[in-house]
Structure 1
Amino acid sequence: MDLFAAATLEPLPNPTTPRPGGLDFFSTILWPFKFVVEAILVFWHWVFTSIGLQPDAGLTWVLSIVGLVIVVRAALIPLFVRQIKSQRKMMELAPEMRKIQERYRGKRDQLSREAMSRETMAMYKKHGTSPLSSCLPLLVQMPILLGMFYTLSEVKRHAEWGVGGTGLLNPVLTREFYNAELFGVAPLHVNMIDAINTNQTATVVILVILVILMILSQFFTQLQIISKNLSPEAKTGQAYQMQRIMLYVLPLAFIFSGVFFPLGVVMYWFTSNIWTMVQQFIVIRNLPTPGSEAAKAREERLAKKGKALDSSGKVIPMAKYEAEQQRLLEEAERAKAEAPKRQQPVGKNRAKKQAQKGKQDGTS
């Protein structure tokens, strides 16, 4: 397959879209991301056509979209782990944050606000986290998602006028994508509004099913966090209440995506949701928040295998764990014994009596 073949193709009869051209602010800003998206799509398309799949088959392009998800999400794994740790720290910091807020409750002067801000930032710095850290993976993925949206949204117009995309998605590949249909009935470049207007019932049904599955997967992913991976202390903070609200509100955003996004973008988002759900399950199972139900469940699983977690969180044999606990207990008792005893306060009358008794003992 020649990736650079055919600079243009003959336009399709009676195009329904305006001729490509002119300046588009968002397309210009997203040009690098669109180029990356097209490169990944074309690579996977080449892989699947090389093993015998049809170039314009819906399965070929759907698998290419799945490959795009794998590449993007795999690259984001380090950020995802950082996000999980940051969210965990933010939840654990909720009691300390409430103390700061209580200390400055009712104080609205400039000096108090500045002092509260300094203490809050110092707390974040001390624990190595910030509210922005938990949003970083989403912010990084958003340009890729927008690049995917614009790439697939422009497939119809580019294919109708016989031109290619930003980079490696040349006119031939664009036309093949345009002709691709999921299950042989649902074009990947069509959104729900277009499908309804053109009476493509099968496409509408597929989009509705995908949106429902996206909502359920997002709900289950969020539910895993607030039901299994929060400590009792974290469940008393304002952040926990926000998590509960997002549990029901965030999945509804996928209704919007199912209506306005092309089927190809919805497939990308659905596959990405499945990745997130599985990834979240693995992280919660193996790196749970200390004190959470997931952490207790992990300790029980390790105990059945004759293992436990040491003070640094490393999995060790049970015998070694018991020896470590015994050592820590002995060190604590030794430190307690060596600590100077606190002298209890004595009243004036009692002190006077003790002094008199001391004099009598000295003269006897």
Structure 2
Amino acid sequence: MFDKILHPFAVAVAWVWVKIHDLLVAIGFGSGSGVAWILSIILLTIIVRILILPLFLRQIKSSRSMQAVQPEIQRIREKYKGKKDPVSQRKMGEETQALYKKYKVSPFASCLPVLVQMPVLFAMYRAIYAVKDLAAGTYHYADVEADRLGPITQSVAAEIDGSTVLGIPLSHTITSGDGPFGIAVFVILIIVMVVLQFISMRMSMTRNMPPSSDPNNPLVQSQKSMLYVMPLMYVFSGSFFQMGVLVYMATASVWALAQSYWTIKVMPTPGSPAYLELVERRQSKYQDWAKDYFARYDAERAGLPSAADDQSVIALNERTLAEVQAKAKAQRIASDFPETMTAGEKVTVYRNLANQEWTSLPDEMWMHGVREAVSKNAERRAATAQRERTKKMPREQRLREAQRQREEEERRQARRSSAQGAGDVSAEEIERRRQERRKARREQSKKKHR
């Protein structure tokens, strides 16, 4: 059953492998057995890694977003702590999913690169494993004899099987009888692969993870265990790998190390030592020019009218915004402010970045916080304006307006409860209760006027 599922992947890998080899031959490498088959495995590994880069970047963004929403997730869990009934559990799940949707977070995104790589690794293993049997004419899968694996026929398999790494054929394992030198080559490759994996994982754990306040945390202990368990797994499993698979794994380990180093330098995890260093570097680079720039801006602004809607002030802010955004964009500072913000308000944000200590990178997550703050300020201003308008109304009109606002808020709550699933209470029951509360308020109001 497993062979039947894996066979199409092995055929696909075989086609890509052979086409890469054909390309190498076309640009001057020798045909037949030789280095071109070794290089084709290395290039196949690199191509697979490049193809899954978008998934890797999505994994990083998802991990950062997940970390950003953790406080809100924790509040939801505290809200339903100790409530094990189905209704509470359902509502907790719905609120959590709504939070994921709001922040565009997928808790499963971090699994995608691994899920994509595993079929390729198994398929590569099966394709290389099949070479020896194909060359001997004894290949079969799922108990069915076959004379080829995609483009790899018996003659092509013989070419591959004749290709060697330091004299060891690609289809051989450490137990294939290549003598002490062959065993030494296998051992060295396995050690190189394990060391690269260990360095990559240790670099990520020490440089790209926030320090834990509780070293006895099971998650922290699990991560520390994986640092040593994963390399040990390669020590034991590596003895069963063919030379071709070891070439693939060693190349993947080099790529993983380079990828970890790049991640730490460019996209570190918030709160990690690497992230704090990056914040400091980016802040220093931005403020080196921004402090002097905004000092000149402040001097020019001081000579203009105090009113923010004066045309000369508006012109200054628009010109300043265009200049600052061009510079900020080059320094990867987010600039997609809400459309409701004026040029002067946007300039103020950039000016604050020039004079304040940064606590985070001014990236997409930072901009999300800016939008949230702008939205809340707009709501507060609207509420304040509404209260001021209400104060100026005659008494009867104020009472009607207050009644209207209460009814509107009740309708919003009813819709929210209905959308989220208000336990076993139907929408009709919610409306009935609202009408009862409304009736009770009317009666209470009549008693006050008697």
TM-score (norm 2): 0.58
Partner of residue 212, structure 1: 191
CA distance in 1, matches of 2:158, 2:213: 53
Q: 1:255-270 maps to which residues of 2 (within 5 A)?
A: 255-270=235-250
Partner of residue 276, structure 1: 256
Superposed CA offset, 1:288-316 (max 9, x none): 233432223224444565568999x8544
State yes or no: 1:191 paired with 2:173: yes
CA distance in 1, matches of 2:332, 2:47: 37
Contact 1:162 1:175 in 2 (8 A): no
- Tell me how far 1:30 sits from its aligned partner: 2.3
DSSP-derived class of the 1:189 partner: coil
Partner of residue 33, structure 2: 56
Q: 1:57-136 maps to which residues of 2 (within 5 A)?
A: 57=34, 59-136=35-112
Q: Which moved more, 1:210-219 or 1:130-139?
A: 210-219
Contact 1:38 1:169 in 2 (8 A): yes
CA distance in 2, matches of 1:93, 1:216: 35
Question: 1:77/1:99 Cα in 2 relative to 1: closer, same or farther (>3 Å)?
Answer: same
DSSP-derived class of the 2:108 partner: helix
Question: 1:253/1:126 Cα in 2 relative to 1: closer, same or farther (>3 Å)?
Answer: farther
CA distance in 2, matches of 1:252, 1:101: 37
Matched-pair identity in %: 34
State yes or no: 1:200 paired with 2:179: yes
Contact 2:173 2:240 in 1 (8 A): yes
DSSP-derived class of the 1:259 partner: helix
DSSP-derived class of the 1:52 partner: coil
- Tell me how far 1:278 sits from its aligned partner: 0.8
State yes or no: 1:182 paired with 2:165: yes
Equivalent residue letter for 1:174: A
State yes or no: 1:166 paired with 2:149: yes
- Tell me how far 1:36 sits from its aligned partner: 1.9
The runs of 5 or more residues in structure 2 that have no matched partner are: 140-146, 291-323, 334-345, 357-369, 385-450
Contact 2:208 2:264 in 1 (8 A): yes
Superposed CA offset, 1:255-289 (max 9, x none): 24302221211211221121122122212211223
CA distance in 2, matches of 1:226, 1:257: 24
Equivalent residue letter for 1:171: Q
Larger helix percent: 2
Q: 1:325-364 maps to which residues of 2 (within 5 A)?
A: 325-326=351-352
DSSP-derived class of the 1:30 partner: helix
CA distance in 1, matches of 2:96, 2:7: 39
RMSD across aligned C-alpha pairs, in angstroms? 3.8
Equivalent residue letter for 1:262: Q
Q: Which moved more, 1:156-165 or 1:67-76?
A: 156-165
Contact 1:94 1:238 in 2 (8 A): no
CA distance in 1, matches of 2:66, 2:87: 25
Equivalent residue letter for 2:165: L
CA distance in 2, matches of 1:86, 1:327: 26
- Tell me how far 1:234 sits from its aligned partner: 9.4
DSSP-derived class of the 2:151 partner: coil
DSSP-derived class of the 1:146 partner: helix
Question: 1:99/1:247 Cα in 2 relative to 1: closer, same or farther (>3 Å)?
Answer: farther
CA distance in 2, matches of 1:275, 1:249: 20
Q: Which among 313, 316, 324 is matched to residue 350 of structure 2?
A: 324
Partner of residue 3, structure 2: 27
CA distance in 2, matches of 1:90, 1:238: 19
State yes or no: 1:250 paired with 2:230: yes
Partner of residue 347, structure 1: none
- Tell me how far 1:145 sits from its aligned partner: 1.2
Superposed CA offset, 1:310-343 (max 9, x none): 99x854499x9998134899999xx8xx998xxx
State yes or no: 1:224 paired with 2:203: yes
Higher RCO by CA contacts (8 Å cutoff, separation 6 or greater): 1
Contact 1:91 1:230 in 2 (8 A): no
The runs of 5 or more residues in structure 1 that have no matched partner are: 1-24, 341-364
Contact 1:151 1:165 in 2 (8 A): no
Equivalent residue letter for 1:35: V
Question: 1:182/1:199 Cα in 2 relative to 1: closer, same or farther (>3 Å)?
Answer: closer
CA distance in 2, matches of 1:247, 1:110: 39
CA distance in 2, matches of 1:222, 1:97: 28
